[in-house]
Amino acid sequence: MTQPAQQSKPAILTVDDDPGVSRAVARDLRKRYGEKYRIIRAESGASAIDALKQMKLRGDAVAVILADYRMPAMSGIEFLEKAIDLYPMARRILLTAYADTDAAIEAINVVDLDHYLLKPWDPPEEKLYPVVDSLLDVWATSDFRPAEETKIIGHRWASRSSDMREFLARNQLAYRWYMSDEPEGQRLLSAAGLDGSRLPVVVCADGQCLVEPSDAELGTHLGLNTSPSEKFYDLVVVGGGPAGLGAAVYGASEGLRTALIERTATGGQAGQSSRIENYLGFPDGVSGSQLADRARRQATRFGAELITTKDVVALEVNGSARTVRFADGDSVDAHTVILATGVSYRRHPAAGIDDFSGRGVFYGSAVTEAPRCTDQDVYIVGGANSAGQAAMFLARGAKSVTIVVRAPSLEASMSYYLIQQIENNPRISVRTCSEVIGVSGDDHLESIVLRNNATETEETVDAGFLFLFIGAAPRTDWLDGVVVRDEHGFVVSGPDLTVDGQRPAGWNLDRQPHHLETSVPGIFAAGDVRSDSAKRVASAVGEGAMAVMLVHRYLTSS
């Protein structure tokens, strides 16, 4: 995107209610960054918000915001939550005392905090400047224009409205939501000359209205890259989860012309996680969206091309080329392909449950829907880590959270650290040996029917929200007849392709398939879509990197 002309230098804003500290922060910042940035200081959250609003109206850019945690009337976290609405691309730092580090860690998820600094930070050359330098580098390589406001008008309990909010949130596109039956929503519809019979409606910052847009239409209009820039690549990665992002980073950094194709949003199921605590290098945990955002920025910095809203429907072998075909009729060719499509949650078998999808029943989506669950009784179906992470996140605001599992305990499918957290959270309870067998409601979910398989009893409970994290379906039907898959649809690779010393049918090379290579030379599988994979974020990233190494081996030997 073209950067608009700036009337003034970008700003670094610092807010601290202690005048002495405020002046000291501004002094240190001005000393290092004063030539290229305006250093603006405020002594309260309210005055800082006023300053940001004025800069927003003028079209000024804000690069970094530093906020003190302990401020009267408005804490640093509360201030940053408001600041995000005005400048979502500004990098965020929380200034804390040692006693407040727990709050700072919590803020990593609440306001997508980039860093927290302990006071005092002397000497700034060692403790302040390296942090600010790195964040300025990130900001400078991103689209740092003040975010233009996109408005969505829809029905609260409409499935498409829910899907659209999740699409925008996962792609980190700022928007404001208005319900069609509330005054502001009606005012916007009236101004657009619409009667609200077709929803959702998107009012873009340029005033254009999109009625019931597809993800591709919405993404294109809001600036996502939705079409390949070339027809041929060295490497095409299909799927933007941890494995796909890992492959894109390593492929591009190794000099391969790399394109990553993602149907909805980068991050995959891991990108929907509220907090991943066992990922190497993040001792305080990291949200899935944070991890995906950093990986996405890293991949693009190395030159990978990330393409969203493209649905891959076919894979063909055309001589030495591998052709990836899309649902819209377009296609790209590549020397090699890495399949990293991950898995999707299985549909729940209870009769009528999909009638309430987006209207109280959600597959994943815990982070997106969490604000609506405040003071509500919430039910979660599933016993894996994704369900446990969602339970911990939703328990912050929900009245109660109940995890429903068929197994006699969580121990067989959930990490020990999550089980301990759940046991120590008074708002979370676990119903073992149980399953959901029915749902009911008018225009949205109002109750569910639970069956205890141990006692063979049924119970109807009030519930406005039901989150489903069940099973793992690879969704690889589009690969039928192209590569070998196991009985569950997962892609078979490497040594598993050789049976009784026999190579897979159609294999025409003298060598055995490489470890992550499929039954078609030059096509590799990484992450959860691969048969017998570990189904963990760290292993998926590792397989993505390993697949690139094997791509190089294939390219140099073919």
User: Is the pLDDT higher at 371 or at 242?
Assistant: 242
Residues ≥6 apart with Cβ < 8 Å to 65: 12, 13, 14, 15, 80, 83, 87, 90, 91, 92, 93
| 181-190, 398-407, 418-427, range with the lowest pLDDT | 181-190
ω into residue 123 within 30 of 0, thus cis?
yes
pLDDT at 57 over 60: no
- Check residue 443 and give its pLDDT: 85
- How do the residues of the chain divide into helix, strand and coil, expressed in percent and rounded to 5? 35, 25, 40
Residues of the chain with CATH 3.40.30.10: 151-221
pLDDT above 70 covers a percentage of the chain that reads 94
pLDDT at 327 over 90: yes
Give the helix/strand (H/E) hosting 402: strand 400-404
Determine the CATH number of domain 232-344+473-557: 3.50.50.60
At 290-308, the pLDDT tens digits run: 899 899 999 999 999 999 9
Neighbours of 424 (CB within 10 A): 8
User: Is the pLDDT higher at 341 or at 102?
Assistant: 341
Give the helix/strand (H/E) hosting 441: strand 434-441
- Check residue 540 and give its pLDDT: 95
pLDDT at 1 over 60: no
Q: What is the pTM of this model?
A: 0.73
pLDDT at 512 over 70: yes
- Check residue 189 and give its pLDDT: 87
Instruction: DSSP for 473-535, please give it.
Output: B---GGGTTTS-B-TTSPBP-GGGG-BTTBPPTT--SSSPPPTTB-SSTTEEE-GGGBTT---
pLDDT at 183 over 80: yes
- Check residue 98 and give its pLDDT: 58
pLDDT at 313 over 90: yes
Determine the CATH number of domain 11-140: 3.40.50.2300
Phi and psi angles of residue 46, each rounded to the nearest 5 degrees, phi first: -65, -45
Which superfamily does 151-221 belong to? Glutaredoxin (3.40.30.10)
- Check residue 2 and give its pLDDT: 34
ω into residue 120 within 30 of 0, thus cis?
yes
pLDDT at 123 over 80: yes
Mean pLDDT of the chain: 89
If you average pLDDT over residues 116-134, what whole number do you get? Answer: 85
**Tell me, what amino acid is at 476?**
T
The correct answer on CATH 3.10.20.30 for the domain covering 353-468 is: no
If you average pLDDT over residues 1-22, what whole number do you get? Answer: 74
If you average pLDDT over residues 493-518, what whole number do you get? Answer: 89
Residues of the chain with CATH 3.40.50.2300: 11-140
Q: How far apart are CA 286 and CA 552, in angstroms?
A: 31
pLDDT above 90 covers a percentage of the chain that reads 57
Label the pairing between strands 11-15 and 62-68. Answer: parallel
Residues of the chain with CATH 3.50.50.60: 232-344+473-557, 353-468
Q: By C-alpha distance, which of 349, 351, 357 is closest to 467?
A: 357
pLDDT at 20 over 80: yes
- Check residue 338 and give its pLDDT: 98
Q: How far apart are CA 315 and CA 328, in angstroms?
A: 14
pLDDT at 205 over 90: no
pLDDT at 3 over 80: no
Give the helix/strand (H/E) hosting 101: helix 101-110
